[in-house]
Each structure stands twice: as C-alpha cells, then as structure tokens.
Chain A
Amino acid sequence: MRDTLSVDGVHDMGGMHGFGPVPVTDDEAVFHAPWEGRVWAMAGVLLRRTTIDRFRYLIEQMPPVQYLTSSYYERWLWALERLAAEHGMLEGRGADPVTRPALVPPTPGRFAPGDQVRVANRVVPGHCRVPRYLRRQVGRVERVACVWPRPEESAATGRYGPLESVYTVVFSGRDLFGPSADHTVSADLGESDLEAP
C-alpha cells in the first residue's frame, strides 16, 4: 500500500479547541460489543508481525472525516484490514515475526537532566511522535526516559531499527497555551527531535 502523509494529521489533537466535555464513565465493560473484543484480540496477534509504530501509522492514514466519525475499534479494524493486506495475509502469505527490542537501562545521551532544549521544527512526511503543540517550544530535560528505536523508522519499515535516547522534557503550560495556563506538561521526545535552544 502507498503511504500517505500523516504528519499534521487529525489524530494529533493535543491542545485543539472545539471538543466538548469528557464523556466520563464510572464503570464500563471492557468491550462495548463482541466484535470490539475480536478486533482487539486480532490486533494482539497481528502486532507480533509488525511494529506498534506501523500500526499507529496505518491508523493515522485514515481520512480525517472518517477518523473523527469512527469509534476507537473501528479505527483499529481499518488499520488491521490494511496491515493484513500489505502482508498478503489473506492470500496465503504470512509475515515474519517482529521482536520488540529488549529493555536496556537508559544511558546518558547528548542531553542531561536540567538542560534546556528546543523541540526541532522538523516537519517531514510520515509518522511523527512529536505533537504539533510542542514544536519549536523550549523545555527542560527532566530525565532520560528510555532508549528505544526511532518510531519514524519503525513505522515506515515495520521493523525496529537502531536505538536512541528518549528524554522526558517538561514545558510550561503558559508557554504552550497562554497566560491563563498555570500547569506544566511533560512529553517523551527522542534525541533527534531535540536541539540546543
């Protein structure tokens, strides 16, 4: 299947205006209909044959109007249909298993806790885990969160590539959303998405 652009897609909704009150529920079934459970469980099996990033990237390629009018598991189903198709799983072909990277302890990278960093304004087509509302913003590194393959690459290839340091970076809500914001926001960002301010 031909990938379309997904950076700046409608899925990147942090900070958007216009959505109403949160549909708070106290107690709910794990699945709201039996087919949702089957979609969830199929995803669990098929995701052993690709990367989590590839799955997210497929969901992000859903046309925006459809994304906003589909339920959560309808979006999963849409992505699974495409995942099965791109591996020929419905024509008797299979896909090799993909192993998640082993967890390794975080190691010091280019940035250290306390450093000021700027989020790179790198807008390239494809999967992107830097939310739009953080682009170009300056924050403070709190800690090295983990080391993990770059999601852009894992999404494009369906395989996990080389590891990079991922940092928890803290931003002032005021910088992001204006003077009435008195909170802080943190996000986990890869080393190649950060630069010296």
Chain B
Amino acid sequence: MTESSPLERAARLERGLVEHGSVRATEIDAAIARAEDPGGDQPSTALGARVVARAWADPDYRARLLADPVGTLGELVAQPVPIAVLADTPSVHHVIVCTLCSCYPTALLGNPPAWYKSFEYRSRVVREPRAVLAEFGTVVDPGVEIRVHDSTAEQRYLVLPQRPAGTDGWTEDQLATLVTRDAMIGTRYPRAGE
C-alpha cells in the first residue's frame, strides 16, 4: 500500500470530522478566507504595522503600549494573549524565535512566514544571531547588543523597531508603510524614510 499524500489525508480527515459533526465545512472555508484576505481588524502584518506606526507617532500611546501591552493591544485583538512589546534602542536590537515549535504573535500579525518555522532559523538564531540576521541583509553594529527571545511559554512578543530617520512630520498612515513583518520579528530594519 502506498502512503497517501497529505492532500488525500487532509481530505479524508475533514470528511470524517464533518460527517461525525466535529467540524462544520463552512467554518473551515470561512477561516481560510479570513486568513488569506484579512483586512480590517483581522490579525495581519497590516494590523501590527498600525500599532508600530502609532507608537512612533504618539508618545502617550507608546508609553501605554510598553507599560500595559496586554491591555493596550487588547483594544485591537479579538482574543487577548499574554504579549510583551520589545522596544529597540540605540544599544539593544531584539529578535524573536520559537526554537521548540512556531510560537508567534498570530493574534496580532497572522500566520508566521515559512522561514520563521524553518529548522534553520529555529536552530541557529539563538546561537549565532548576527550570522542569521546577515542572511536577511541585516547588519547590526557590533556595539549593539542583540537580544534573542525564545518564545518558550504562552507569552508572545512584538518588536517595536526604532523610528526610521527622515520621517519627521509623517502621518501614522505614512509611517505604517515602512513597517514590515520582518521588522516586527526583528530580522530586518523597517524601510528607510526619506
């Protein structure tokens, strides 16, 4: 007997679960549609970018976000999770990983990229973060401490990068265009201002 493909096994499992009432086919379709086309307040990179841009533009919001991240982000995300916001400074650069599986701030950012879940990233970034970041084209000044956060419990992390230079007077919407997914994981810097 040949081993079934994942596609066949997934279809068989879904048929069985639907037939026996553990899953409704419509809830599977609806969840996929939301994940593939988030928009609005659904978890996505765009939602995270709004948070970062607002923290850059509004010092009061930034202070609140750092002092009470669960409460402040709870205004945005449907299911509150323990979350900490890691603010980069001129002397510390934060980067997040989950060496044991794939823990990621999905409630805010949506699903993690494939590289975040890769064996290469999981095994190496805790041991040699400078070399790993260089593979993203990110060179961190030798005088800057790199702090790698291994997400080993239910606490999730969001990196708040430093605001790029040349963005004085920019609106939150303009600032949000500079905030990439990888900048909120810590493997890249935000896009440059003007």
Interface on A for B, CB 8 Å cutoff? 11-25, 28-33, 35, 37-42, 44-46, 49, 52, 56, 59, 68, 71-74, 77, 80-81, 84, 89-95, 100, 103, 129-131, 133, 145-146, 148, 151, 166, 168, 170, 173, 176-177, 181-190
| A–B complex contacts, Cβ < 8 Å, 17 sampled | A19-B123, A37-B32, A38-B10, A41-B35, A81-B9, A92-B21, A129-B152, A133-B126, A148-B82, A151-B153, A181-B127, A183-B145, A185-B150, A186-B147, A186-B148, A188-B154, A190-B153
B119 within 8 A of A: yes
Q: Is the CB of B153 within 8 A of A40?
A: no
B162 within 8 A of A: no
Q: A56-B101, A185-B148 are in contact. Are A15 and B118 (CB under 8 A)?
A: no
Interface on B for A, CB 8 Å cutoff? 6-7, 9-11, 13-14, 16-17, 20-23, 27-29, 31-32, 35-36, 70, 79-82, 84, 97, 99-102, 110-111, 113-115, 117-124, 126-130, 132, 135-136, 142, 145-155
CA–CA, A131 and B98, complex, Å = 10
Q: Is the CB of B153 within 8 A of A148?
A: yes
B114 — which chain A residues lie within 8 A by C-beta?
23, 25, 28, 32, 72
B147 — which chain A residues lie within 8 A by C-beta?
170, 183-186
B146 — which chain A residues lie within 8 A by C-beta?
182-184
Q: Is the CB of B31 within 8 A of A44?
A: yes
B70 — which chain A residues lie within 8 A by C-beta?
103
CA–CA, A195 and B153, complex, Å = 18
Q: Is the CB of B6 within 8 A of A35?
A: yes
Q: Is the CB of B6 within 8 A of A42?
A: no
Most chain B CB inside 10 Å of its own CB: which residue of A13, A28, A59, A68? A13
A166 — which chain B residues lie within 8 A by C-beta?
153-155
CA–CA, A41 and B9, complex, Å = 15
Q: A23-B115, A35-B11, A42-B28 are in contact. Are A14 and B99 (CB under 8 A)?
A: yes
